[in-house]
Amino acid sequence: MTLSLMYTNCQRGLIFEFLKLSNEFMKEFKVELDKVPHNHTAIKEGIKISDNILKDAKLFIYQPLDDKYGELSTNSILSRLPSECICISLPRLYFKGYWPQHGANPYSKITGDIQSLFSYGDTNLNQMIEEGVPKEEIIQRINKLDFYNHEDLIDNLEYTLNEISKREEYTDVKISEFIRQNYKNYRLFHTINHPTDMVGREVANQILQILNMPKLSENVLPFHKEVLGGLQVPIYPSVREKLGLNFITPNEVYSLKGLGRKLTFSEYAELYIDQDQKYRKSELLFKSQPNEILDNLSDKKENQQAGVIYIITGTNLRYVHECIFSAASLKKYCPKLPIAVLSDKFLDFPKDYFDYIIPIQTELQPLQVKVEFMYKSPFDKTLFLDTDTQVLQPIDEMFNWLDEYDLCVANGPMWAKDKPQELLAYEGEGNYNTGVLLYRKSDKVELFFNTWLEKMLASSTLDKDYYNNPGVNDQFFFNQLIFQRFCEQHGIKRKIFTNTVYNVRSNMIQNLKNDGKIKDVKILHMHDLHKKKLKFDC
């Protein structure tokens, strides 16, 4: 077998599912999808495709990219392929004919667990929400069979087909005529850029024809039917009626990835409106009250108590899910302990677990933000937890330490430099870990946090790799202050608590089991605890 590479967008998964159903193709070619990234990923992350990979290719399937993308452009890559390599181009598969309402959704990046539902916006819903039209009236309007007129829908259809025709002027695979002939009787797209299996088979068959191989029959289906069908954007009733779409019914239901159930057109619209309203309120809160809620809470005497805080920046849902999981585990064992989460983007945290959901505003990098806001906790006695933690037993006793001490922290473990999972000792002396940090408010502790942040901001090595760069990692500067005897100089009483109980890292687990200490663990601190398959129960 000879090497075949596919340099396209996410549609390559669909096309390959059909190509691998061809015995002739699979005997001739070995397709290695992981050798080359999706083209949009390569562009976004600046991933260069190595000559060592390209030099062995005998078949190169691609979607053209303009010269403005430099080394990632079509011309650049084709020039580096061996002369005997067969190159087959196909257009980006796109069809707006079913969805004249398609547009941007300004809140698609911060919608939590159902983020992917509304990555495709609806201009009609956006406009009516903006105009203040009641939800019930919006639903009535968009369900009317005359919402769109026939002429506008035909104009939209012809426009999108003409766009596809332009894209395929210089490609080997042509798809516009196939769409024109079949769009009424068969669902050809799930979203504007997610084709159905029927389109995937057609593209695969054209590739097979170019290679002089037999076409696939219509009854040949991939193992996973509708490869890209996990998310479907509903089609307006007036579009169904005016375009004469025969493949859907008035009671059609649509798959929405991440929701776990299918929705009718009206149910989809209702959920879209509800989410839009929720995040408009969130955005207004950020615009009108950045950091104000936090300042007010910090000033109120009734809120001066013991509590736990989490700090999250950005819209990466991994940290959101970690945080919710950690807070849920904490509430299980310490139900009366108040929890606050400080976030600059995401506010949709479950109130069952969080007593305070506090919007913050900052221009700093994530680990700097952590230090910037830790002392601004609304509590007198604060336990800061990283999001990747899990509480396994009651931990209320930790706050009693603050009757005597100002700052409490644990050492991190000591491991082999070239083998991070090989534990050398439970405690690496002088290697304090700030993922579990306990402190009480006072002028001297505030000075400690301010100095900690100042050292980070003064660092000359601020770059993209701040998580792994000791020049900007928050723990580096924390340890630096400790080594410089800052606490002793300013009368800060410091306690070192045991990490085998209150800050257990992943490379300590097996040793704790072997030593019979695993039942003593109270706080786990490691990535992916929120994923069920990695949940750890002592």
User: What architecture does CATH give domain 289-534?
Assistant: Alpha-Beta Complex (3.90)
- pLDDT score for 188: 97
> Does the pLDDT value for residue 457 go beyond 90?
no
Short-list 77, 89, 85, CA closest to 3: 85
Q: Give the pair of three-digit tokens for residue 276.
A: 């839009």
Categorize the per-residue pLDDT at 315 as very low, low, confident or very high, splitting at 50, 70 and 90. Answer: low
> Does the pLDDT value for residue 285 go beyond 80?
no
> Does the pLDDT value for residue 533 go beyond 50?
no
- pLDDT score for 222: 72
Q: Higher pLDDT residue, 24 or 366?
A: 24
Q: What angle do CA 509, 515, 516 make, to 5 degrees?
A: 90
Q: What percent of the chain has pLDDT over 90?
A: 57
> Does the pLDDT value for residue 511 go beyond 50?
yes
- pLDDT score for 528: 79
Residue 448: CB partners within 8 Å, gap ≥ 6? 407, 481, 486, 487, 490, 492
Lowest mean pLDDT among 125-129, 164-168, 282-286, 453-457: 282-286
- pLDDT score for 40: 84
Name the residue type at position 261.
Answer: R
Polymer length of the chain: 538
Per-residue pLDDT averaged across 223-236, rounded? 87
> Does the pLDDT value for residue 491 go beyond 80?
yes
Per-residue pLDDT averaged across 210-237, rounded? 87
Categorize the per-residue pLDDT at 57 as very low, low, confident or very high, splitting at 50, 70 and 90. Answer: very high
The label of the residue with tokens 């290679």 reads 211
> Does the pLDDT value for residue 428 go beyond 80?
no
Q: Higher pLDDT residue, 176 or 37?
A: 176
Residue 371: CB partners within 8 Å, gap ≥ 6? 449, 452, 453, 456, 474
- pLDDT score for 176: 96
Give the sign of the dihedral formed by CA 351, CA 353, CA 356, CA 358.
negative
Q: What is the CA radius of gyration of the chain?
A: 28
Query: What is 2-89's CATH topology?
Result: Rossmann fold (3.40.50)
- pLDDT score for 33: 83
> Does the pLDDT value for residue 110 go beyond 50?
no
CA distances from 266 to 142, 270, 321 (A): 9, 6, 29
Per-residue pLDDT averaged across 268-293, rounded? 65
pLDDT digits (tens, 9 = 90+) for 371-393: 999 999 999 999 999 999 999 99
Q: What is the residue-averaged pLDDT of the chain?
A: 86
Q: What angle do CA 91, 96, 101 make, to 5 degrees?
A: 150
pLDDT digits (tens, 9 = 90+) for 61-93: 999 998 988 889 989 999 999 999 999 999 999
User: Residue ranges of the domains in the chain?
Assistant: 2-89, 102-192+233-279, 289-534
> Does the pLDDT value for residue 430 go beyond 90?
no
Categorize the per-residue pLDDT at 350 as very low, low, confident or very high, splitting at 50, 70 and 90. Answer: confident
User: Whole-model pTM above 0.75?
Assistant: no
- pLDDT score for 76: 93
